[in-house]
Amino acid sequence: MRVLAPERRVDFAAIRKDFPIFQQKAHGKPLIYLDSTATTQKPVAVIEALTHYYRTYNANIHRGVYAIAEEATARYEDVRGKVARILHARSAHEIVFTRGTTESVNLVSNAWGRKNVGAGDVIVLTEMEHHSNLVPWQILAQERGATIRYIPFDGRGKLDLSGLDRLLEGPVKIVSLTHMSNVLGTVNPVAEIARRAHAKGALVFVDAAQSLPHLGVDVQQLDCDFLAFSAHKMLGPTGTGALYGKREHLESMPPFLGGGEMIREVKLEGSTWNEVPWKFEAGTMNIADTIAFGTAIDYIEKIGFHAIAEHSRGLVTETMRALGEIPGVTIYGPPAAERGGIVAFTLDDIHAHDVATVLDHEGVAVRAGHHCAMPLHAKLGVAATTRASFYVYNLPSDIEVLVEGVQKAKQVFHR
Q: What is the pLDDT along the chain (415 residues), one digit of tens a residue?
A: 333 444 468 999 999 999 999 999 999 999 999 999 999 999 999 999 999 999 999 999 998 889 999 999 999 999 999 999 999 999 999 999 999 999 999 999 999 999 999 999 999 999 999 999 999 999 999 999 999 999 999 999 999 999 999 999 999 999 999 999 999 999 999 999 999 999 999 999 999 999 999 999 999 999 999 999 999 999 999 999 999 999 999 999 998 887 777 677 767 777 767 777 889 998 889 999 999 999 999 999 999 999 999 999 999 999 999 999 999 999 999 999 999 999 999 999 999 999 999 999 999 999 999 999 999 999 999 999 999 999 999 999 999 999 999 999 999 987 5
Q: How far apart are CA 224 and CA 245, in angstroms?
A: 8
Domains in the chain: boundaries: 12-42+304-410, 47-301
47-301 CATH: 3.40.640.10
Catalytic residue among 372, 374, 382, 395: 372
Q: Within its chain, how far is the Cα of 21 from the centroid?
A: 22
Bridge partner list, 367? 387
- Report the topology of domain 12-42+304-410: Aspartate Aminotransferase, domain 1 (3.90.1150)
Sorted by sequence, the CB contacts under 8 Å of residue 381 that are 6+ apart come out as: none
Bridge partner list, 98? 241
- Please state the pTM of the whole predicted model: 0.94
Q: Within its chain, how far is the Cα of 397 from the centroid?
A: 26
Q: How far apart are CA 235 and CA 264, in angstroms?
A: 34
47-301 and 12-42+304-410 share a CATH fold: no
Q: How far apart are CA 168 and CA 196, in angstroms?
A: 8
Q: How far apart are CA 330 and CA 343, in angstroms?
A: 10
Beta strands in 159-318 (DSSP E): 172-178, 203-207, 226-230, 241-245, 263-267, 270-273
Q: Are the C-beta atoms of residues 32 and 402 closer than 8 Å to each other?
A: yes
Q: How far apart are CA 14 and CA 116, in angstroms?
A: 50
Let me know if 224 is a catalytic residue: no
Cis-peptide, bond into residue 335, ω within 30° of zero: no
Sign of CA dihedral 386, 390, 396, 397: negative
Sorted by sequence, the CB contacts under 8 Å of residue 361 that are 6+ apart come out as: 27
